[in-house]
Structure 1
Amino acid sequence: MALPEIWFDDIQDKLTLATGEWSAIARWVSATLTGADTQATWPDRLWADERPRLVFLSLSDGQQTATVDYGSSIGLRAAIEAAIASVQSRGRGATVPYCKIDIVQSAITSERLNSERPFRYDRSLYGLAYTRESQIALLPEELVGWQLLDAEHKLDADRLSRYLKKYPERAAAWQVLRQAARVKFYRFACTSFATDGRDAWLLYRGHRCFNAIAPSDLLNAAERGGRYLRHQQSPEGRFTYCYHASRDRVTIDYNLLRHAGAAIALLDLYEVTGELEFLDAAQGGLDYLLPFSQTSPLVPTVGCCIVENGFAKLGATALAIIALVKYTICTRQQHYLPQLLQLARHLQAAQQPSGAFLHHRQAYPSGEDTSFVSRRYPSQAILAMLYLYKLTERESWLTRAEAGVRYLLMTARPQSDFEDYWLLRSLSELFRHVRNPRYHQQAEQIATVIANHQHPGRPQADWLGSFGKPPSAIATAARLEGLCAVYHLVNVANVAVNRQAHERRHDIIWLAGRFLLQLQCEPETVMYLPKPARARDGFRQQLTDFTIRLDDVYRSITGLLAVYRLTGEPTSQVIRYN
């Protein structure tokens, strides 16, 4: 087999590309592959490039794992033409809709014993290559997408053998390398961009770089997340709880609290868009949920609670109530009302005169308290009471919600560590009805604590706007909803605030929304997975793997919709970042 003209130890200089240049290259490559009669042209400045270049070309039909070819030569144009020739020699490219280009910018050469010890670098940012003779070079997205390097950065040799089967020469070379006592390898970094033939996107860590966000981007992402939920829903109404996309495996675990949250997200989408597909999916979710409603151990003659795996959880009952109230208000139908009121009676019985909620988790049917204490369940129960007030207009629910808030504020942890985003939403909702300055002041304090914990873009650039250690979808989206609630409250309640702090919160909100967009599974993000179509439009748990959990998806939907709703208020319609 012919050896590559240029390999990683030949790369000497980085190639800086302007926005117009990388997008022009992407369109030129797409037009060349498809034979389309377009106006795509090669950037003028890059005709003069005469340095050693190595380029990867990944093609995906959106259904199967992408094929990856590479080309090398003197000059970028010649290297890309070599990669295109490799693609065409295999009879591919003319009809493939998604194309990704990776230009190798730097490489570090190392040698080590051929052992199972971890590779000490970030698998999501750097690729792994072996000798020129082996022709084995793996992009970081391949390492993560097929989990060739696991979370501990250990190479799965057998899995790599399976992955390389579609490249016979590389597969044979890998079997030889596996027997070597020592191996030479390269850690390399790329500039990456992708195109679908119409648009082009600069990529970082395999995801799009968002330099400008419009409200339509937020709504579009939320809608696609809703369709992911709908496609992952069984005929009985149950959602896929956790999909490990790198292994194409689904876990059998389930959680009804998060199931109820998914129904809430779908109802939010229906409320904003009016699309019946979201209402149908939400109703399917409610129909799956309600058979888990069992006689309440607290008020057995008149109440019910949500029971799962032998336990009655306060939070599951609270979120079920919120979902049922939203459905009843959105549709003006009352067929869920009897069950809703039975669940409400259990919630009522779970609250003490002090405002505290006992029995966060009870064994069922004995009713024995398990001593489990949740930081979130009481705030979820308070929000459910405020929803019940919105539906029934009974002052007793408002009184109970206020008692619950007072108790939580009295027993709150030190301010510097108090990030109860469910309470933040409850405070904002309560202040609409009870204009107690303390509620707004406390909401402002919690929002400030949350905002101070937002990542500033260090140690990684794409951490900007995120929350959590490491940054995650659920940590970011949950806090984002709380921040949006306070921001909306200031806009509509005409309360006195520090305008500079309010404007800063606006930026914090949009940065968090941008981070969530990075986690959505776009065609170019999922192209290296075993089954790209199955993961598309979901929201990953983190930037560095492809675990897609139900709560990551539904919280991302509700978080993005919360930001979208703000765009009808006095705020910028398009946010740009440097």
Structure 2
Amino acid sequence: MIRNNMREVEERLEALKKRMDEKLESNDVQLNILSNASTKYVIFLSLGNPEVRAKVVNASGNNCEKVWQKVKKSAIKLIQRSYFDPQWIKLDIVTNVEEWGFPDFEEYIKHVKRNYFRKGIAFDDEFRLALLEQEINGFSLIRSKQGHPQELDEININHYMKYRYNQKFPFYKNYYCNKKIYLFETMAFFDENSEIYELYNGELTTGIRKVHNLECELHNLIKKSASFLVNEVEENGKFEYGYFPCFAKRIPTYNILRHSSTLYAMAEAFEYLGDEEIREGIERGIDYLINNAIVYKEDCAYVVDYANDNEIKLGANAHAILALTKLMQVTNDYQYLELARSLGRGIISMQKEDGGFLHVLEYPSFKIKEAFRIVYYDGEAVFALLRLYDLDRQENWLNKIKDAFDFLIANDYWKYHDHWLSYAANEITMYIPEDQYFIFGLKNCHARLNFIYHRNTTYPTFLELTMAAFKMVRKIEELGKEYLFEYIDKDFLLQTIDKRAEYQRVGFCYPELVMYFKEPGLILNGFFIRHQAFRVRIDDIEHNLSGYIHYLTYRLPELKESKDLTSSSRNHPLL
């Protein structure tokens, strides 16, 4: 079949070449290559599909057309020889090269953040042995072992050399100790089934597609990542928990709290998209939760995390309530209301006289295991009770919520900058619009804004935190309480939100990124955490999903009114 479609493949290759030529002729790109004329042009072609790790070929020379013909011939030969189906084709042309002494390079990578090495490496000035940045990270060729600094990993490099070059002779770092190596950057274009995207080559955004309509792109990201989560729900309702994608390793652990929190995000996606497949996945997940994790003591229900020492975690009860109440609110089907009440009573049974909460109990003894574990649990518990109160207007829920907020305010919990606290603060002002709750929520966000704006990791909860503050700002304006803006820089909040909304795309599992991992289809359309070995876990996806849904629902309409929402009309310094 591949042989019959070779004409189509050649047309796709030539279309990529045309885009490259147009960019070079536009003078928007200056090639800063070595003075050696034999390596004036260096071109890579990466060929991939969801089934296998990408195959990469490259060529170099002083004539662009000849280099192109050479690398194109190598790509076609590879496709024909291996019957490879190139659903994805990526073209890179080297735009900038830096010469390094090998010892200096080794010292440099010791201090680079894990998986944040963002350049290619050539081990000779003619690029005979050269690796794209995505190849280096996709096969974990730079890594640290047992607490030691990062270094080139000879074992992984030799494995990859066999895959990439079918190389018979071994790679030894000592061979290069007195030689020069070359770090390089590229300009890239990506073909996904004949649709071509230009890719960013910014310091932190290298390798993701440029888009002309951010609204459309983010809608697609929500749709694709929600579908990803649905596909991760097994027949019995348990999730495939996650992956370390470099070598397609499944994460063997499980956490019932994250099971429920993911169902909550899926319920938000169901509200936004109206896709019945999402609802079916949620209901299977809820059935698993009920059948495998819920226990009762008198009129209280608790979620037991059997996979983690039979713990009853305050946050697990909270997220179960959030998932149940959100689905009931969206569907107007209140079949889970009594269960949600019982879980709410479970939370209240863990509330102390001062309004704070016990965090972890043992099961089946129900004895206190840890009075405090992690600050997130308090915000999750209060937010869950608020969502329960929204459906079940019993005064007792609101009284316990006020007690909890008295504790949070008295103990300056705003200093933890937890997005669940922002959710809770925003929610309580719907029922009690008192200044103290607005001030708490604004301070919870404001002191973190500068950090969020400049942070190079994606941290999806940042968008959730700032969007909760955004909704609070609009509520303050509606109530005529603008004097409260002394507690937040409103303009900087909006700049930060818009920047994070675009920047979080660098963590989406686009095919142009995941094609360099083993079994790309496992993680395609999820979200990864780069500094955690590109981990793709259900909770990583849920936070991105929730943040983007809130952004498109609340922030986007204002942007559409003020200007054309295109990537070219927006100022994103990192891009």
Q: Distance in 1 between matches of 2:469 and 2:155?
A: 46
Aligned with 2:22 (options 19, 23, 43): 43
Corresponding residue for residue 184 of structure 1: 179
Write the distance in 1 (CA, Å) between the matches of 2:260 and 2:188: 38
**Corresponding letter in the other structure for 2:449:** A
1:131 to partner: Cα distance: 3.7
CA RMSD of aligned residues (A): 3.4
Aligned counterparts, 1:335-374, within 5 A = 335-357=335-357, 359-373=358-372, 374=374
3-state SS of paired residue (1:427): helix
TM-score, structure 2 normalization: 0.83
| Counterparts of residues 87-166 of structure 1 (less than 5 Å) | 87-91=75-79, 96-104=86-94, 105-111=96-102, 124-131=117-124, 135-151=128-144, 152-166=149-163
Task: Report what 2:444 is aligned to.
Answer: 446
How far is 1:117 from its partner? Answer: 12
> What SS does the corresponding residue of 1:307 show, helix, strand or coil?
strand
Structure 1 position 38, deviation (Å) = 12
Q: How does 1:306-325 map to 2 (within 5 A)?
A: 306-309=303-306, 310-325=310-325
1:384 Cα offset (Å): 0.9
Equivalent position of 1:16 in the other structure: none
Aligned to 1:483: 469
Q: Which residue of 2 aligns with 1:547?
A: 535
Q: CA offsets per residue over residues 211-249 of structure 1, 9 Å max, x none?
A: 765323222212211111122222111223231000210
Per-residue CA deviations over 1:357-376 (Å, capped at 9, x if unaligned) read 2x210111112212341212
Larger deviation, residues 185-194 vs 110-119: 110-119
- Matches of 1:44 and 1:326, distance apart in 2: 48
**1:31-430 to 2 correspondences below 5 Å:** 32-33=11-12, 42-43=21-22, 46=25, 52-91=40-79, 96-104=86-94, 105-111=96-102, 124-131=117-124, 135-151=128-144, 152-168=149-165, 171-173=167-169, 175=170, 177=172, 180=175, 182=177, 184=179, 186-196=181-191, 197-204=194-201, 206-208=206-208, 210=210, 214-296=214-296, 300-309=297-306, 310-357=310-357, 359-373=358-372, 374-412=374-412, 417-430=415-428
Q: Which runs of 5+ in 2 are unaligned?
A: 1-7, 32-36
* Cα contact 1:57–1:83 (8 A) shared by 2: yes
Q: Does structure 2 conserve the Cα–Cα contact (< 8 Å) formed by 1:425 and 1:485?
A: no
Q: Within 1, Cα distance between the matches of 2:424 and 2:393?
A: 16
Deviations 1:126-171 (A, max 9, x none): 22232469932111111111112225533333333332334455x1
d(CA) in 2 for partners of 1:395, 1:203 = 53
Which residue pairs with 1:516 in the alignment? 504
Distance 1:565 1:167, change over 3 A: closer
In the comparison of the two structures, how many residue pairs are matched?
A: 530
Query: TM-score, normalised to structure 1's length?
Result: 0.82
Structure ranking higher in helix proportion: 2
**Matches of 1:372 and 1:224 in 2, distance apart?**
40
Residue 339 of structure 1 and its aligned partner are, at CA, apart by 2.0
Q: Deviation digits for residues 527-568 of structure 1, max 9, x if unmatched?
A: 111111111111111368421122211111001111111146
Looking at structure 2, the residues matched to 44 and 551 of structure 1 have their Cα atoms a distance apart, in angstroms, of: 39
State the one-letter code of the partner of 2:181: Y
Matched, 1:496 2:482: yes
The answer to whether the 8 A contact 2:211-2:217 is kept is no
Q: Is the 8 A contact 1:473 1:540 kept in 2?
A: no
Deviations 1:398-450 (A, max 9, x none): 2221221121101115x6x4413212111111111112122112222222112
Post-superposition Cα deviations, 1:448-478, rounded to whole Å, max 9, x if no partner, equal 1121322437xxxxx3xxxxxxx24344344
Alpha-carbon distance between aligned partners in 2 of 1:131 and 1:219, rounded to the nearest angstrom: 44
8 Å CA contact 2:463, 2:497 repeated in 1: no
